[in-house]
Structure 1
Amino acid sequence: MLKNPCLREQNTDKSETHHSEDEGHSSERLPMHSNDESINAKDETTDAQSDWGRRLPENVLMHIFSLVCSETGCIPFLVRASKVCHLWNRVASINSLWHNVDLSGNRLKKAYKNDTRIRRLFLNKLTHSDGKVVPAQSYTSVLQIMTHRLTHLVLSNNTMCGLSQIIIALSKCSQVISPSIADILTRAHPAIFKSKLHQTSCPNLELLDISFLQMHSTALINLEKFQSGCQKLKVLRVTNSNIALSPVPLNIQVLSPGFPDLEELNIAAFTLFDESCSKPIVDDNSIERILKTSTKLKLLDVRGQNSVSDAGLVRIPAWNVERLFLAGCCISRKNVSGLELIMQKWNHSLVEVDLSWVHINESLDSGLTALAECGEKSQLQILNLCGSSASLHAVKAVVLKCPLLNSLNLSSCRALSRGMKRRYTGGEISELRSKLKNS
């Protein structure tokens, strides 16, 4: 059962089909979720409160709708606007308005959350989509329609199956055909050639969010094919989803282009207090396969990953990571020197660091000392040490040597005195710095 809404089509025996009089606009009927509230023609003469709305010129009303859609998205605004009167219904049905659609909420009935409704929406309404489309569920037919227009795909917080097939559809390699040959083939066999052209990848995909998916079994992802089909990917979020990378021969792994533009990788597994949660199956080899060419990486979240070691993180090719989340991962539970090496590698660029619930005293203190080594050049602004075993000496080094620090969480730090165990922000950091400097 899909958790994301789709649009319901009104019964033709209860509402009249309206057509746009403007040239260039589709006259196709907008699929509606009506709740048996069909539009009655007599409402146009009896509702005095909305008379101003029915007097607006159609082009002015369309401009207003366009501004609202740009700010809030097409759904549910256009669906609701279409119920006001015949004029609003006609304007809301113009396909060119449907360019920013977010179906991730729970604003419409569950009965209409199915692949047929979504496919109809893409076929009938999203022909003018020019960028960020955030669907709840996606199938091969939808991806074949969107192709190069799809830049953002959010499938998070769904109960679903078939994720592997969706990734395959995203990964299909585009066919390179010269314009002259394409023109000849299109004229000779338009239907066949058109279908061939649809069998392409989504080469402009920049964000894929498949976090918190509820699935009956582990979804195997062919990473190397995905990397070949979506070279422009910048954000990959896989938090708490039962996903694993398909095993492939080493020679195929070597030939894979990786994700050269990737800036954010979130493969966290929040299992610190709930071991029953599903999680990505990730280890050092998986990290290496995903990030082999990701020199632009800015955010890395591996919280709760027991199989990701310090050695795997040190080998990451990116040298300017800004946000690093390590709470509850393998590094936080083993007395190793790797945390110090990680901090030394990125202490010049780190803006936010999460080392909460790290209980290895010596390793944590060495890591914090290395984090502060950058001194006045440090970019660190946020440090989370909640529940950790950080010593006063290590905390003092960070506070005194990192001038941009404006958020420090020392809640439940067992090695600190009772009065220090809280969160500090803004001016409180300056007060703490003065106290530590004089202590």
Structure 2
Amino acid sequence: MDPVVGGGDAPLAVGAPGAASSGPGPSEGPDGSRGSAAGKRKCRAPSADPKPKKRKKKARPPAGPGYTVHEGEDMLLVISNTRQHDDLDWCPKKKKKMTKKKKTTTTEKKTLVEGKGEKNTPQKNQHPAELAVSGEHSNKTAKDLDNSWGDSLPEEVLVSIFQMLVVQDGAVPFLCRVARVCRLWNVAASSPSLWRRVSVGYCWMAPGQSQPPTMEKDIMDTFRWLAEDRFSQLRAFTLNHWKKNVDFAVEAVSRSCPQLTSLTLSYCTGVTGTAFQSLAGHCPALESINVQYSDYQVDGLAHLLDTNGSTIRRLLFTHGSQNDRLLAALSRGCCPGLELLEINTKLDSGFCQLPISIQALQRGCPNLKTFRMLNVIPVHKSARKGLDSPQGFPLLEELCMATTAVSVMNNRDLWELLSGSPRLRVLDLRGCSQVTSQGLEVLPCGELECLFWGQFHNSKVGLPSATNDLHKLTEKWGRSLRELDIANHLFSEDDLERAMGHLAQGPDALRYLNLSGTRVTPTAVRLIIGQTMALSYLNLSSCRNLRRGLKRLYRGEEDVRQLMVALQ
């Protein structure tokens, strides 16, 4: 018997496999094609009035209140009849429907844009303009979207931002790193105006490690590329802690930077005359040379001063065994426009003396404005006979002879230096114990702003027992002094009170006052801080006439004002 389909919910009866029949086989259709039993059932004509199948309704929780009211003695309890997770079974899964809807919409959009779908008509709820916009956004790749924000930023604005960071952090390695962000940043970072001041340190490897040949080649290639592609407008160049290839670096900079005006070699070794010859031939505008704490060939630097000395304005070097050649070149007048001369010494060098002829130096450098000898004791060297006596340093504004060792400078040496310097503003004589207040009083400078005359513990041996001449100095410079250091001087109490009184009568210009180790009294301290409102640094450590708790360093105007309250 053939299988038949019953109406309604009648069960489906299927004949046994292999049963004989007059029609086609169980696996063939009416036209002889092979098919399944389900295919046979679909080919049979349906009944006259087919009834669509009704979906079974999901079971619903029983109607009724979902709580029970229980009346207690003094309260009314409302207890839920449902369990904690019962409501979750009946909540429609809205998230899945939304996800399917979004996926369908995205698929339809892609079909509309690519033209591969069956229909290109817009959706009922979607405006045609929205379809056009969505099509444009779909054409953009993720890479274009990531880089589009940088294209809208003007290059001039980006260069201005980089300029502020370069002033704060330096050009290297900042500009080298930002140049790798995108094309716009690379173009902005390569602006020559950002590469006018460059400082290069030894940062390719850890200290103490040996340098392999491959790394040395990479360093030279990188530096050569910087000099040729970035240093076209370089003005000031600094090289720090290089032990090899210093000549190569200096030559590369000098050949690529004709506008170079300042060169600093700090803690570098192996600087030969070749580097100085390259500077002399390619840098006609060089004005400043700083070779402090570096090992260099003195003859090469002296040759540079002889050939290009007319443009040199600043010269800084460290005391060495052959520095007399540099001083001889300066005394001959090879650098007539020199404005700053600084000679220092290494911290582990100990007692250093430098024979120097002050008169010859005054004659060779008449435009000197700043003269510093730090921890270097000048030894008087007589000039050749027959030369006219110079008029000192007429333009000198700063003189520094500070030392932590025993100084041999006296009043006569000081007068020889400053007899013709009426424009002096800064005088640093820390450690010069043989200079007295009488020697300072006769100086021709009348507008001194900074006087550093403090004594160190090892330099107090040659000081007199007590003097009463400090008030003469404060009376002379009380209206112009901004900073005063008289640490460890043995002035009397009365002299200190008179000196503080002269400072208090000034135009409120004092900012820095160091009285540590002196005999200053509370009355003198109260007088000075009560009248000088701008005082922001006051050192009263080791002052025996002050009570415990007040002998310390005071920083800031508020801290000084609190001292005034404590003294009252």
Q: TM-score, normalised by structure 1?
A: 0.68
Q: In 1, Cα distance between the equivalents of 2:471 and 2:545?
A: 19
Q: In 2, Cα distance between the equivalents of 1:86 and 1:373?
A: 60
Is 1:99 matched up with 2:237? Answer: no
Question: Does 326-335 or 92-101 show the bigger shift?
Answer: 326-335
Selected match of 1:418 from 527, 531, 548:
548
For residue 257 of structure 1, report the CA deviation from its aligned partner. Answer: 2.0
Selected match of 2:536 from 398, 401, 406:
406
Question: Does 228-237 or 139-148 show the bigger shift?
Answer: 139-148
Pairing of 1:116-195 with structure 2 (within 5 A): 116-129=273-286, 131-136=287-292, 138=298, 139-156=301-318, 158=319, 160-173=320-333
Q: Deviations over 1:51-74 (max 9, x none)?
A: 989x978x984x53x63342x457
Q: Which residue of 2 aligns with 1:293?
A: 420
For residue 50 of structure 1, report the CA deviation from its aligned partner. Answer: 6.4
Q: In 1, Cα distance between the equivalents of 2:476 and 2:384?
A: 31
Asked if 1 retains the 8 angstrom alpha-carbon contact of 2:470 and 2:496, the reply is no
Q: In 2, Cα distance between the equivalents of 1:151 and 1:85?
A: 28
Q: In 1, Cα distance between the equivalents of 2:447 and 2:225?
A: 54
Distance change (3 Å), C-alpha of 1:319 and 1:249: farther
Distance change (3 Å), C-alpha of 1:332 and 1:125: farther
Q: Deviations over 1:32-66 (max 9, x none)?
A: xxxxxxxxxxxxxxxxx96989x978x984x53x6
Residue aligned with 2:221, SS: coil
Selected match of 2:359 from 217, 220, 224:
224
Question: Does 381-390 or 332-341 show the bigger shift?
Answer: 332-341
Which protein has the bigger strand share?
2
Which is bigger in relative contact order (C-alpha 8 A, separation at least 6)?
A: 1
Q: Which residue of 1 aligns with 2:509?
A: 379
Q: Which residue of 2 aligns with 1:346?
A: 477
- What stretches of structure 1 of length at least 5 have no aligned partner? 1-48, 174-200
Q: In 1, Cα distance between the equivalents of 2:521 and 2:323?
A: 45
Q: In 2, Cα distance between the equivalents of 1:379 and 1:387?
A: 24
Asked if 2 retains the 8 angstrom alpha-carbon contact of 1:295 and 1:319, the reply is yes
Q: How much is the aligned-residue C-alpha RMSD, in angstroms?
A: 3.4
Asked if 1 retains the 8 angstrom alpha-carbon contact of 2:352 and 2:376, the reply is no
For residue 163 of structure 1, report the CA deviation from its aligned partner. Answer: 2.4
Residue aligned with 2:264, SS: coil
Q: In 2, Cα distance between the equivalents of 1:85 and 1:287?
A: 47
- What stretches of structure 2 of length at least 5 have no aligned partner? 1-178, 204-215, 232-251
Distance change (3 Å), C-alpha of 1:421 and 1:86: closer
Q: Which residue of 2 aligns with 1:396?
A: 526
Asked if 2 retains the 8 angstrom alpha-carbon contact of 1:83 and 1:89, the reply is no
Q: In 2, Cα distance between the equivalents of 1:87 and 1:249?
A: 51
Q: Deviations over 1:12-39 (max 9, x none)?
A: xxxxxxxxxxxxxxxxxxxxxxxxxxxx
Asked if 2 retains the 8 angstrom alpha-carbon contact of 1:101 and 1:133, the reply is yes
Larger radius of gyration: 2
Distance change (3 Å), C-alpha of 1:270 and 1:371: farther
Q: Which residue of 1 aligns with 2:70?
A: none
Distance change (3 Å), C-alpha of 1:75 and 1:146: farther
Selected match of 2:228 from 82, 90, 104:
90
Distance change (3 Å), C-alpha of 1:326 and 1:367: farther
Q: Which residue of 2 aligns with 1:245?
A: 380
Asked if 1 retains the 8 angstrom alpha-carbon contact of 2:276 and 2:304, the reply is yes
Asked if 2 retains the 8 angstrom alpha-carbon contact of 1:385 and 1:408, the reply is yes
Q: In 1, Cα distance between the equivalents of 2:505 and 2:224?
A: 65
Q: TM-score, normalised by structure 2?
A: 0.53
Distance change (3 Å), C-alpha of 1:123 and 1:372: closer
